[in-house]
Amino acid sequence: MAPDAAARPALVTVDDDAAVSRAVARDLRRRYGEQYRVVRAESGAEALDVCRELKLRGEQVAVLLADHRMPGMSGIEFLEQAMDLFPAARRVLLTAYADTDAAIDAVNVVDLDHYLLKPWDPPEEKLYPVLDAQLDAWRAAAPSAVHGPKVVGHRWSARSSQLREFLARNQVPYRWFASDSPEGVRLLEAAGVDDARLPVVVTSDGDVLVEPDDATVAARVGLEVQPAEDFYDLVVVGGGPAGLSAALYGASEGLRTALVERTATGGQAGQSSRIENYLGFPDGVSGAQLTERARRQAQRFGAEIVMTRDVCGLDVNGSARAVRFADGSTLAAHCVILANGVSYRELTGPGLGTLTGRGVFYGSALTEAPGCRDQDVYVVGGANSAGQAAMYLARDARSVTLVVRAGDLRASMSHYLVEQVEAHPRIRVRTGTEVVEAIGDEHLEQVVLRDAATGDKQTVDTGYLFVFIGAAPLTAWLDGTLDRDPRGFVRSGPDLLVDGRPPAGWPLDRPPYHLETSVPGVFAAGDVRAESAKRVASAVGEGAMAVMLVHRYLEQL
């Protein structure tokens, strides 16, 4: 069976004489049609457009076969420009006997691999032996095909970093090319985009997205960005472990369930390089693997997962609860489960804000790790996420320094992970230390450390600072709607009671259920909930428990 046409390398032939062009294509298809896709053009400009399209679609060109004498653009001129797009393609010139001197000169101009004299009949003697040799040479050094979306951007660009992390966390395979790399330059040339308008995403279909937002990219790579209905039994806000658990159990128990997520499923857990203390995985599991399995499982039961939706408000309309999106639209349901988790707290100090995404990264160790090979890396934080990142980065980094504000690493990190960190030969732990400044022009070059006890400062060289500190709940959009504690975490169940009685304004005769918030029918699960355990297993359990309480609430409507 012949390979799929899109997967076959191309043989591109161009001749301004339509009859000759058809004859060349006919002879090529007769011999090579099963293994190669023959693409013909009748002018150099048309052939260049074909080459640009093939480049953007990630396809390969094995041979460029061009007629020498063509108006507007000669075969040599075409080959000279086409080789910028496909430098590995073999270059063959078709020429009349009178033009052999020009063909010989072209060997030096465009590194010509061969020239053929017209006519080439019979092709079995004059054409195929030449092409067979060229194809053998091409296969010996053929580059691998590039499938899936391609991202071209500046190496030290905050937006390029965000886009790469967005694709990686959503389990979308992609290829990254720095804008100044040879392949990056070729893709930008094929797309007709200059490097002042980056990042650029080239889809699998060859479409070019210039400086796209996450929603645009999500829609083009197959992620759902619009809910299928206007009203559900249950809307889950947040796609971390608690949210995925709630969506799975809600859908599996017959509730019309939609999960809305701003960035990527998995939350902070999804960014973990390795979780070793989760029940049922004795050899550990990466956050991405756990997240992907949970996402597929929830979808298999019928839960909708809607991406790139930024929830900014909660409305109560009789028995309906509606979440309001940043674009002004709403999504209503009988019940809402808040599982939107927490974000890493940002460091404050000179340079730390401006260099975010350009050497200072928050929770993106997996995405940026390849660039850390043989580098001196600094990780800030004393909890499990920081320890897991340090272990992961230490695989390839020259050294990893874990900067911990507390006086003892054991204050907030699991015992098993403390032992691993302290035993690793390339990890050094600096307790009682803070990062107070970042220094660099285009990207991070140095950080300033301060001893918490003495106030002494030290400037160290590094191009990579990964931050995993604190837990800031993503609840500002609930101001005036739900009761929260002074740090912004959502109070629920017993924490709402005042002297054993429901809070003022509670409209029902019964007290709030265990995970129910100050608004009946709205529940909180996972890290966003006040006094939660801040562990993956407990978040999963709370998501399942919240669904049980949703059923209890719905029975009383």
- DSSP code per residue over 370-422: GGGTT-EEEEE-SSHHHHHHHHHHTTTSSEEEEE-SSS-GGGTS-HHHHHHHH
CB atoms within 10 A of CB 498: 9
Length of the chain: 557
The reply to whether 360-467 shares the fold of 231-343+473-555 is yes
- What digits encode the pLDDT tens for the residues 19-76? 999 999 999 999 999 999 999 999 999 999 999 999 999 999 999 999 988 999 989 8
**What integer pLDDT is reported at residue 2 of this predicted model?**
41
Residue 554 CB partners (closer than 8 Å, separation 6+): 233, 334, 335
Tokens at residue 510, please? 């019964």
Residue 19 CB partners (closer than 8 Å, separation 6+): none
Tokens at residue 77, please? 């001129």
Helices 182-191, 44-56: axis angle to 10 degrees equals: 120
The domain ranges of the chain are 5-140, 150-220, 231-343+473-555, 360-467
> Left if phi > 0, otherwise alpha if psi is -120 to 50, otherwise beta: which for 61?
beta
Q: Which band of pLDDT confidence, cut at 50, 70 and 90, is reported for residue 366?
A: confident
**What integer pLDDT is reported at residue 1 of this predicted model?**
35
β-pairing verdict for 231-237 and 61-67: unpaired
Query: Is 478 in a helix, a strand, or coil?
Result: helix
**What integer pLDDT is reported at residue 422 of this predicted model?**
96
Residue 420 CA to residue 402 CA, distance in Å, equals: 13
Q: Where are the beta strands (DSSP E) in 250-325?
A: 257-260, 304-306, 311-317, 320-325
Q: Does domain 231-343+473-555 have CATH number 3.30.1330.10?
A: no
β-pairing verdict for 150-153 and 472-473: unpaired
Residue 393 CB partners (closer than 8 Å, separation 6+): 365, 369, 372, 377, 379, 400, 466
Over residues 337-361, the mean pLDDT reads 95
Whether 134 contacts 92, CB under 8 Å: yes
Residue 146 pLDDT > 80 = no
Over residues 446-456, the mean pLDDT reads 96
Give the closest residue to 54 by CA, choosing from 89, 28, 20.
Answer: 89
Give the closest residue to 41 by CA, choosing from 65, 77, 5.
Answer: 65
450 vs 216, 400, 430, 453, CA distance in Å? Answer: 42, 18, 11, 9
Over residues 530-556, the mean pLDDT reads 95
Query: Is 36 in a helix, a strand, or coil?
Result: coil
Residue 305 pLDDT > 50 = yes
Residue 324 CA to residue 315 CA, distance in Å, equals: 7
Percentage of residues in the chain with pLDDT exceeding 70?
96
Residue type, 513: Y
Phi, psi of 275 (to 5 degrees): -110, 115
* Beta-bridge mates of residue 320: 317
Helices 75-85, 182-191: axis angle to 10 degrees equals: 120
Q: Which fold has domain 360-467?
A: FAD/NAD(P)-binding domain (3.50.50)
**What integer pLDDT is reported at residue 7 of this predicted model?**
74
CB atoms within 10 A of CB 163: 25
Q: Which fold has domain 150-220?
A: Glutaredoxin (3.40.30)
Helices 18-32, 128-140: axis angle to 10 degrees equals: 60
H or E stretch covering 268: helix 267-270
Give the closest residue to 61 by CA, choosing from 185, 190, 178, 153.
Answer: 190
Over residues 77-85, the mean pLDDT reads 92
**What integer pLDDT is reported at residue 500 of this predicted model?**
87
Over residues 317-324, the mean pLDDT reads 95
Give the closest residue to 342 by CA, choosing from 483, 224, 487.
Answer: 487
290 vs 103, 299, 413, CA distance in Å? Answer: 60, 14, 21
Residue 500 CA to residue 491 CA, distance in Å, equals: 15
**What integer pLDDT is reported at residue 174 of this predicted model?**
93
**What integer pLDDT is reported at residue 458 of this predicted model?**
97
- What digits encode the pLDDT tens for the residues 258-292? 999 999 999 888 888 889 889 999 988 998 899 99
Assigned superfamily of 5-140: Response regulator (3.40.50.2300)
Q: Which band of pLDDT confidence, cut at 50, 70 and 90, is reported for residue 3?
A: very low
